Structures are given as C-alpha cells and as structure tokens.
Amino acid sequence: MAGNRFGPDSTPSWKEGWERKKKRSYVKTEYRPLRRTVEDQEDLDAFLSAYDPLSIAAPSPEARDDALEAETGALYTRSRAALEDISMAPLPNLPSSVLRLHLEIVPDVFFHEAQTLKSDVEYREDVERALRDYGHLRGKHISRDVIVPEDLPLYALHYLIMHVFGLRNLHMHEFTLPQDTLKALTGDQTGRWVQLIGILFRSPFMNLDDRSWGDDEEGRSFRAFLRERLTGPYGYAPSEVPSQACLIRTGFDPDRQYLVTYCRGEGLEEIVYTCCPLEEASELRLPETDKFTFRQEVRPFASLPVDSIPFLIKGSPTLLERLPVSDLLVPVDGDLQPADGVTILRTLSGRLGAIRDIHPFFDPRMDEEMDLAISRPLPCTRVLHYFYDPASSWWVRITMTRDCQDLVEDGHVTQEELDRAQVRVRELYQPAVISSDGPMLMEDLGGLPCLSEFLQEIHPDLRNMDRKERDRALEIRAERLAWAKKQGWRGEKPNFL
C-alpha cells in the first residue's frame, strides 16, 4: 500500500490470503452502501504520509515493545498504533472500533429464572450433563464469543447467530428486550412504547416482505450469502428508515378503553391474564378455579401495562433491525447506565429542535432531517433477547463487553490471538469468533432437550449391552447421523467466514 511505513514486503504470514477477502468489503451491493475504494484508501494513506513525515518513520524497537504491551484482555482499549504494529500495515478508517458480544443459548427466557420446581431443575441438570459429556460444554450454557464492528446492525447479528450456531435461516426470528427492561424503558405504559415505534421498535403491522427483506439467497451458497450479509459497511431495509417505520403510529387510538384482567396464583406475582377492547368484554369467560384469583380494571390504550401488548398485536414488541448493537447495548463491564424512554425521547426532541414535537400519536410524515435526527437512539439495555424458530424455541441471550479479560484469564484465548482477531475484523469488516463453548445446533431439531437426546444417541454407551442391543444402538446412531447431515449439522466449532 502506498505510504506504508512498514515497507512493501511487511505482510505477516498469518495474514496471507486476506487481500481478496478484504476487497469484498469495498464492493457495492444492494445491502451495503459503497465504501471508500481500495484505490481511494491508498491515495488517502499516501497523502497523510506525505503531509505528516513522522508517519512514514519506522517505530524504534523500544517504541514497538511499548506499543505491543497490553492490559490482559484489552480489546476496545487497545491502541490503534499497537494494532498497526501487529498488522504491519495501516488500519482502515472504518470500522472505527470493535466490541465483544457474548451469545448464549438459554431455556425459554420468560421461565428459566422463575421455574424452580424440583422436576424442572433435575430435568435441566440431565440436559446439561448430556451437553457436557457429549457436546464438550464447559460452562452452563452453549455459548459463543465474537468480536464485531461497532456498527454491526441487528439484521447482520441475526446472520452471525446463524453462522456461529450452525443454523440455516429457515425460520422467522425476532429481537426483543427483557420484560423488566421494557417496563423500565416505557414506564410500563403502552403509550410510551408507541412513541418509540420507528425509533427503537418495529411496527407491529410490518408485512412479511419487510420483515425478511435480506433473506433472498439468489442461488448462491449459504456460506457466500452469509459472507455478504456480514461484511460491512452495513445498510438497512427501506421500510426501516425512521420516517417509514413510524407511519404505523396513527393506527392506535389513545382513548379507546380496554378491559385488563390480572391473575395471581398462590405465592406468585400478579400477571396480565388477558386484555381486550371494552366493547368485546362481554365475550370474555374466566376459568372457575380455586388456584387463582382474578382482578379486572378498565384503562385507556395509552396507559395499559406493557404486559398487555401481546394481546393487542398477537406478538411481542420487536426491535428495529437497522439499529447497530452499539446503539442498543450498554456494556456489562462499564459504569454506563441504560437510558429510559423519557430520556431517549427528550434527547431526540432536542436534536429535532423546533421542527416537530414528538408525541405518541402525531402524524409522522417526516423529512430527511428528521430521519437523521432520530436514527441513533441511546443505549437502553444490558441484555438483548433473540428468538428463532417457534418449534425448536431457540433463545439467545446477548450481552456486550468492551474487553476480554475473563477469556484471557480462563485460557480460552491469548492476547496475541485477540489482537490478530481484532486486526481481522478491522481489515475485513467482518465479525470473528474468538471463543466457542458447546456443540453446534441443528435446524428442526426441537430445542435443547432434543439436542441432548441426539448427542446421547450418536454416542451410545455400548459397554453393558448385549449384541442385539449394541447392533440396534449402532443402527440408531447411523440413522441419526445421516439425518443430521441432511440438516446441515456440523459437529465442529464455528470458524471464520
């Protein structure tokens, strides 16, 4: 590269073969806006080198040693100069930084903390034992740790989850907030959720084509399809442009009255049992039981509790997938606190100035200036939930950290491997897997219990079987492996794209 202070033959051996992959991120596609071309980047580097003579001077051995020193697990805090010394080449201007995401498969997120029945605990222990014995699980949950560009949007995170867990994008998915976070964000009022449609949340009436706008593989291999979707810079669907995503707000009547029915069981918290328009309340029939008590009240739409939303839209409040993870997640290893809905709306209203006041049910025909103003909300949660395939019920819990001290201290990755992975992410504009715990998943399997049963079937204990039992176990093993191969199952760990 012109102006390279490291010389023309300074590419380290571990980067061989990267140039072709690197140039892919400069190719314009429908899903990725045009990035600065390779030639433009070389001209810029040459100009900067000529403008600043110090930039072409090779670092002294002492300076190089100082630059390469790092705190244990440094990632976000790693200096650009140190990374360029490791790469032996200038880093691209974009992405400007990287983050670490921790993705873990958990039981149903609505119940895995609340259910404490002995039978449930014992059953889950059996599942975990099978995953540990046959799936190489070290921790409590199947998990992956990845380094991603800070501007990775949720739609690309969906494809990343497909890659790292071995799924093939055959079913519907959604990103949601934990219920306690949703309540804090909205003040437990449905009207505040409506205000945030188009800013944080998808329209509940978005059609199927708009929901799955990037899923056309167009006859390519699935690997090539994933590579394109995961390579930045990233774009997003026209239907998720803020002014378009907000249009549905007028579909709600803030003054319409609803009957909310609450239910409480012995020793349990009160929950919303159902919610319906007041004019339909005569059709409601409550079960006759001594195990639960019911309470009812009438509320206008705007003040309904957010637990009522699934009864109103036949689903959960889902997040806009144009949003970068850095605009949603607060790092769990920092002191920053999640923003609430009032703060987000006040901040956005301040950006808009006197253009238009943000109101729950305003006519949201907006211009490009307003699109720009509200396109970047404030981080509002420490945890994201991802749901895939209702039949198998795969739930992924997503958290973000700025550094990787725990992975280095536990021996899952070295600082050298971490630095090289970060260089890769910056140069190729693609996520990189840095740690993997547990087996790959499989389409149409049936969830964690079925995965544990599958692993036991393909690892039969033949020691105490007679010949007939042994032959049958081996037959079942062969059948299950043949079926798994058709499902695209890979027993190995995920790798780079």
CA distance 275 to 52: 66
Tokens 């167009």 -> residue: 218
Instruction: Confirm whether 283 is domain-assigned.
Output: yes
pTM value is 0.85
Q: Which of 385, 402, 25 is nearest to 234 (CA)?
A: 25
Instruction: Work out the mean pLDDT of the chain and round it to a whole number.
Output: 79
Residue 104 pLDDT level (bands cut at 50, 70, 90): very high
Comparing 120-124, 424-428, 430-434, the range with the smallest average pLDDT is 120-124
Instruction: Confirm whether 277 is domain-assigned.
Output: yes
Instruction: Confirm whether 165 is domain-assigned.
Output: no
For residue 36, pLDDT beyond 70: no
Beta strands of 243-390 (E only): which ranges?
Answer: 257-265, 271-277, 292-300, 384-388
Burial of residue 171, with CB atoms counted within 10 A of its CB: 0-12 exposed, 13-18 middle, 19 or more buried: middle
Buried b or exposed e, range 7-45, using 16+ CB within 10 angstroms = eeeebeeebeebeebbebbbeeeebbeebeeeeebeebb
CA distance 315 to 178: 14
Instruction: Confirm whether 221 is domain-assigned.
Output: no
Q: Which two tokens stand for residue 7?
A: 């010389």
Q: Which two tokens stand for residue 37?
A: 């071309």
For residue 447, pLDDT beyond 80: yes
For residue 107, pLDDT beyond 50: yes
Residue 163 pLDDT level (bands cut at 50, 70, 90): very high
Residue 30 pLDDT level (bands cut at 50, 70, 90): low
As a whole-number percent, the residues of the chain with pLDDT over 70 amount to: 72
Each residue of 293-335: pLDDT tens digit? 999 999 999 899 999 999 998 888 999 888 899 989 999 987 7
pLDDT of residue 42: 62
- Which residue(s) pair with 264 in the sheet? 293
Each residue of 467-490: pLDDT tens digit? 998 999 999 999 999 988 888 787
pLDDT of residue 260: 95
Instruction: Confirm whether 297 is domain-assigned.
Output: yes
For residue 191, pLDDT beyond 70: yes
Each residue of 55-68: pLDDT tens digit? 444 445 554 445 45
Q: Which domain holds residue 267?
A: 257-305
Instruction: Confirm whether 368 is domain-assigned.
Output: no
Q: Which of 103, 233, 240, 97 is nearest to 158 (CA)?
A: 103
Q: How do 143-149 and 98-106 pair as beta strands? A: antiparallel
pLDDT of residue 51: 47
- Which residue(s) pair with 396 in the sheet? 105, 386
Q: Three-state SS for 476? A: helix
Between residues 276 and 109, the one the model is more confident about: 276
Each residue of 110-144: pLDDT tens digit? 444 444 444 566 677 788 888 888 888 988 899 99
Helix/strand/coil (H/E/C) assignment for every residue in 50-105: HHCHHHHCCCCHHHHHHHHCCCCCCCCCCCHHHHHHHHCCCCCCCCCCEEEEEEEE
CA distance 27 to 435: 29
Between residues 456 and 21, the one the model is more confident about: 456
Instruction: Confirm whether 278 is domain-assigned.
Output: yes
Between residues 371 and 271, the one the model is more confident about: 271
Instruction: Confirm whether 220 is domain-assigned.
Output: no
For residue 209, pLDDT beyond 70: no
Q: How many domains, the chain?
A: 1
